[in-house]
């Protein structure tokens, strides 16, 4: 595979990364910024740390507060990024929320919340992203999950939402291939993010290390992924090195889907 992480493959390009304030989104936004992109970071929470990491490395970044579940806010945020950094070239939909529970344990409020962010939020950004790209082409990467394609216990609402992300990816790739818009998705298994640490602290106080090790070992490779590893794959898929790739789903899962015993 080509090495797009060297040099400045995104020089002169404008990228929007949702959920760029922490976790996977933060790693993607930072890497893109350090590789030349002018990055618009959309998140509900302030993304000062991400902006600082990019600007200290000589890059350009802007934070725009945005609830991706509200189309009016997304439209305003995309317009602000365009005004500051120019027309959109790259969109990464990374914003998302998690939920643990079977269908019996999932309340209507739980379901609506997951749907609003993980499904409607991606739809809102795709709608604005395609509108900004169709005259000149562009690249979209959606963050899905291994839960898109395999049954995972106690993840009813989350799996529903990530299955939708996968199929939306395929639709965008098909509908806009002649407008030179490429669209792919990445499906991580467990990745060590602040969400994982918070989940363990809330649900397993005093047993965090023990349960972390159990979760890590569910990947055959023996550990969780790193946000930086997801970012490197996103960088490749959004680069010219991947110009022949569209409508594809890329598991990055330590062997979870294919080597699970």
User: Per-residue DSSP letters for 195-227?
Assistant: HHHHHHHHHSTT-HHHHHHHHHTTSTTSS-B-H
What is the homologous superfamily of the domain 14-189+226-253 according to CATH? NAD(P)-binding Rossmann-like Domain (3.40.50.720)
Rounded distance, CA 69 to CA 189, Å? 24
- Range with the poorest average pLDDT among 25-39, 66-80, 193-207: 193-207
Q: Find out whether 198 and 173 touch, Cβ atoms under 8 Å.
A: no
Q: Is the pTM value of this prediction over 0.85? A: yes
CA nearest to 89, candidates 126, 140, 32: 140
Q: Is the pLDDT of residue 126 over 90?
A: yes
State the catalytic residues. Answer: 158
Rounded distance, CA 43 to CA 23, Å? 12
State the DSSP H helix or E strand holding residue 37, giving kind and residue range, or none if neither. Answer: none
Phi and psi, residue 15, nearest 5°? -125, 140
- Range with the poorest average pLDDT among 22-36, 116-130, 132-146, 206-220: 206-220
The mean pLDDT value for 176-195 works out to 96
Domain ranges of the chain: 14-189+226-253, 191-224
Task: Give the bridge partners for 142, in sequence order.
Answer: 93, 185
Rounded distance, CA 257 to CA 148, Å? 11
Q: Is the pLDDT of residue 1 over 60?
A: no
Give the per-residue pLDDT at 7: 80
Give the per-residue pLDDT at 203: 84
Rounded distance, CA 80 to CA 98, Å? 28
Task: Give the bridge partners for 93, in sequence order.
Answer: 142
Mean pLDDT value across the chain: 95
* Other C-beta atoms lying within 10 Å of the C-beta of residue 32: 30
Q: Which two tokens stand for residue 151?
A: 């049954």
Phi-psi region of 235 (alpha: psi -120 to 50; beta: other; left: phi over 0): alpha
Q: Find out whether 186 and 232 touch, Cβ atoms under 8 Å.
A: no
* Other C-beta atoms lying within 10 Å of the C-beta of residue 36: 18
């Amino acid at each position: 595979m080509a090495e797009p992480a060297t040099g400045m493959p995104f020089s002169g390009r404008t990228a929007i990364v949702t959920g760029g304030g922490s976790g996977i989104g933060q790693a993607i936004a930072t890497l893109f910024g350090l590789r030349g992109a002018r990055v618009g970071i959309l998140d509900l929470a302030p993304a000062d740390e991400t902006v600082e990491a990019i600007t200290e490395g000589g890059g350009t970044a802007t934070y725009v507060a945005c609830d991706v579940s509200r189309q009016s806010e997304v439209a305003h945020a995309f317009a602000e990024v365009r005004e500051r950094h120019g027309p959109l070239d790259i969109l990464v939909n990374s914003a998302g929320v998690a939920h643990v529970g079977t269908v019996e344990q999932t309340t209507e409020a739980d379901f609506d919340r997951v749907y609003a962010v993980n499904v409607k939020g991606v739809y809102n950004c795709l709608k604005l992203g395609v509108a900004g790209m169709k005259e000149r082409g562009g690249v979209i990467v959606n963050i899905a999950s291994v839960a898109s394609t395999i049954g995972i216990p106690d993840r009813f609402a989350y799996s529903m939402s990530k299955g939708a992300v996968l199929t939306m990816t395929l639709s965008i790739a098909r509908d806009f291939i002649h407008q030179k818009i490429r669209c792919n998705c990445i499906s991580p298994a467990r990745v060590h993010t602040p969400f994982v640490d918070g989940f363990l602290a809330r649900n397993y106080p005093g047993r965090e290390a023990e349960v972390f090790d159990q979760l890590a070992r569910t990947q055959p490779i023996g550990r969780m992924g790193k946000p930086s590893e997801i970012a490197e794959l996103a960088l490749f898929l959004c680069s010219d090195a991947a110009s022949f790739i569209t409508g594809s789903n890329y598991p990055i899962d330590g062997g979870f889907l294919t080597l699970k015993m």
